[in-house]
Amino acid sequence: MDNVIDIQELTKQYKNADALSLDIQSLEIVRGEKFGIFGPNGAGKTTLISILCGIIEPTTGSAHYHLDGDHHSVKSVLTSIGFVPQDFAFYPELTPVQNLLYFGRLYDIPKVNLLQKIDYLLDSVGLMHVKRKKINTFSGGMKRRINLAIGLINDPKILFLDEPTVGVDVQSKVAIFRLLDELNAKGTTIIYTSHHLKEAEDFCDRIALLDHGKIIKIGSLSGLLSSNSMTNLEELLISLTGNTLRD
Amino acid sequence: MRKLRASIIKEIQLILQDRVGLLLMYLMPILLVFIITIVQDSAFKLVKDNQLDLLVVNKDKGELGEKFTAILEKTGNFNLEKDPKADLKSIKGLTIEKQKLISIYIPENFSQNMSGNAQHLTKIMLTEFGMIDENSPSSESVKNEIQLFYDPVLQENFRFTLVNNLQTVLNSMENAQMVEQIFKEMGYDEIPEKIKKQLSQKQTEIKITSASNSLGGSIPNSTQHNVPAWSIFAMFFMVISLGGNLVKERLSGSFIRLQTIPSAFILTIWSKMVVYLFVALSQLAILFSIGVYLFPYLSLPQLAIPASILQLFVVSFLSAMAAISYSILVGTYAKTQEQANGFGSISIIMFAAIGGIWVPLFVMPDYLQTIAKLSPLHWCMEGFYTIFLKNGEWNQLTGPIIYLLLFTFACQFLTFIKLRIQNYI
């Protein structure tokens, strides 16, 4: 297998927490796949993505990236990673162009390429007509789309998406997934987490189900459903994690 | 460098969008400097140049009451109104009714008592010298008084100055009475003209000189005190804009994205420092320019710029860096924007209060004067006063420079620790 990320004995225990928030013995993510991470609240999805993006440090263990034939730590592959957090991570007082220019320059992208890239991204997410309007005047769906566009400004080889479609209308959702499929077709590995399990069924090649910080199931959707005699991901998740409400 | 430039451009774009922050950083200090300088200048002029409204009720049957009133009028310090019909019972009410800040009641035996006391003292002196017989008839010493009524709004320091001035006039009248009495006892009808002329002249002048190295002979005025002091206060108030902006950015999620971009976070902090350094220095430049060019048109004293521009730049730069580092520290440790704004502004007000911005340090109790040394605003003010008021040498600036450097490093170190713990850098 051509893995892009190898995780070995990765744990995270937050300060003042009694238990581990993440405890993964082994996980491999294959180059070019669309990998979904699902689980109830507090399962450890955001913690895993935060470690993989270098936002937080693991308590033990490590994740290795395989880019350009070499092993890398997360800090050395940051320029090849794209991250679209669940929270809006941009400056709402500025316009889409100002935001994209700023984040693009932080990646040291040459100006000519950057301007072309900005036009391409704004066109792809349908925001070309408002490129010089302040983002704080945008609807929730428009904000979600610019949040995605900023995460793509550096042409990432690995893209992390944390709930990219929360609060968006069906039109925005279709546009977002069309763009993600396009990127994936060009070779971008996508690691995706969401509570919209129907979306995941349609989008992901492979999924991992997390609960209490551990991977409880991993595989292709069809394989997981058939081996557990379930018809959809929601049924499978409830059967594995129970009906108890989570904090 | 390109990344830093991008961060600086972004900061400028953000700051230009923050209209309230801009008003707080630029308009508020201008208003503060104007208001405080005008108020302090007026208070000074109230004593020095302006005329205090004064009501005089003279019931004296002799001529000294009238003479006392005439001397007060001649000083030019009072807008004097006489009301011979008023009495001791009505004078209080009249003071308020006629909107006088003070009223003076001269009793009917004022001249008699003053002359009698002068005669009594003269007799003691001449007896002592053996010039007259101690059994010769003389009046006894009696208590002589005038009464002063004041509007309660008149502050204690004004009252104190006024009473001192009145006492000086009364003392000179008593002395004149005594000299006149001595000449009478010596057989003169009146004091010889040349002696009278000599007595009316001040024998000892008080020459007022500032203990500074050289300010072109000018005496420090309210502008020279207020413009630097309130500029410092305003500069530190950037904590509301910068500290709040930092918390807002952190909570908005943009900081999380910055953590996934190499070296972006530290560049963000540096770019904030560069932009706010420009803001702080431009605040000072604007306020100093107003002091130099605009104040004279408003009949306020002109700000005299220190001779050493290098000293002015060094003190301004270090003060700005202290203000910026403190604001970033507050913004880093505050959990919410409200916390940053509340704690930031209250701490600056406290630093200003104990640092001597509002009340001069020398009037504070000893323990507060010691605590004042913990306030960065105190050291900024020390630095500015050394160059603006004393035209001081570099060695006089050593204390402020060392303290401000230490304060800046301490704030930046604590910021680094917190950001490191949070894995931002």
ipTM: 0.85
Residue predicted with more confidence, B198 or B218: B198
Choose the closest CB to B254 out of A57, A89, A101. A89
Backbone angles phi, psi at B365, to 5 degrees: -65, 160
pLDDT by residue (tens digit) across B324-353? 999 999 999 999 989 999 999 999 999 998
Residue predicted with more confidence, A49 or A70: A49
The DSSP string of A132-190 is: TS-GGGS-HHHHHHHHHHHHTTT--SEEEEESTTTT--HHHHHHHHHHHHHHHHTT-EE
Query: Is B214 within the bounds of a domain?
Result: no
Q: Is the same domain home to B12 and B29?
A: yes
Please check whether residue A92 touches B, CB under 8 A: yes
Q: Is the same domain home to B18 and B123?
A: no
% helix, strand, coil for chain A, step of 5:
40, 25, 35
Q: Is the same domain home to B315 and B397?
A: yes
pLDDT at residue number A229: 77
pLDDT at residue number B408: 96
- Is B216 a residue whose pLDDT tops 50? no
A111 → chain B, closest CA residue: B2
pLDDT by residue (tens digit) across A81-127? 999 988 888 999 999 999 999 999 999 898 889 999 999 999 988 89
CATH number of residue B95's parent domain: 3.40.1710
Q: Is the same domain home to B235 and B304?
A: yes
Backbone angles phi, psi at A58, to 5 degrees: -75, 160
Closest CA to B132 of B186, B190, B188: B186
In this prediction, residue B99 has a pLDDT band, given cuts at 50, 70 and 90, of: confident
Closest CA to B380 of B209, B184, B228, B220: B228
Q: Is the same domain home to B406 and B302?
A: yes
Beta-bridge partners for A81: A158
pLDDT at residue number B193: 80
Please answer yes or no on whether A91 and B5 come within 8 Å at the CB atom: no
In this prediction, residue A247 has a pLDDT band, given cuts at 50, 70 and 90, of: low
- Structurally, chain B folds into a number of domains equal to 2
Choose the closest CB to A87 out of B253, B262, B423. B253
The region, left, alpha or beta by phi > 0 then psi within -120 to 50, assigned to residue A229 is left
CB B340 within 8 A of CB B239: yes
Choose the closest CB to B423 out of A57, A85, A101. A57
Least confidently predicted of A74-78, B64-68, B409-413: A74-78
Task: Please identify among residues 120-179 of chain A the ones whose CB lies closer than 8 Å to any CB of chain B.
Answer: 134, 150-151
Mean pLDDT of chain B: 85
- Is A189 a residue whose pLDDT tops 90? yes
Answer positive or negative: Cα dihedral of B262, B268, B274, B277.
negative
Please check whether residue B420 touches A, CB under 8 A: no
Please answer yes or no on whether A94 and B14 come within 8 Å at the CB atom: yes
Residue predicted with more confidence, B52 or B302: B302
pLDDT at residue number B212: 63
In this prediction, residue A188 has a pLDDT band, given cuts at 50, 70 and 90, of: very high
pLDDT at residue number B139: 67
What one-letter code names the amino acid at A32? G
Q: Is the same domain home to B261 and B321?
A: yes
Q: Is the same domain home to B242 and B258?
A: yes
- Structural domain ending residue among the three candidates B148, B169, B200: B200
Q: Is the same domain home to B268 and B372?
A: yes
Tell me which DSSP letter residue B136 carries: S
Domain of B298 in residue numbering reads as: 2-43+221-421
Percent of chain A residues past pLDDT 90, beyond the cut: 32
Choose the closest CB to B256 out of A75, A85, A92. A85
Q: Is the same domain home to B16 and B88?
A: no
In this prediction, residue B202 has a pLDDT band, given cuts at 50, 70 and 90, of: low
CA–CA dist B57, A226 (Å, integer)? 111
- Is B217 a residue whose pLDDT tops 50? no
CA–CA dist B34, B32 (Å, integer)? 5
Q: What residues have CB less than 8 Å from B198, skipping those under 6 apart?
A: none
Look at domain A3-29+43-188 and name its CATH class.
Answer: alpha beta
Please check whether residue A97 touches B, CB under 8 A: no
Q: Is the same domain home to B284 and B362?
A: yes
Q: Is the same domain home to B361 and B244?
A: yes
CB B306 within 8 A of CB B45: no
pLDDT at residue number A121: 93
- Structural domain ending residue among the three candidates B200, B235, B251: B200
Residue predicted with more confidence, B276 or A243: B276
Least confidently predicted of A184-198, A210-224, B188-202: B188-202
CB B307 within 8 A of CB B391: yes
Residue extents of the structural domains in chain A:
3-29+43-188, 196-247
pLDDT at residue number A246: 66
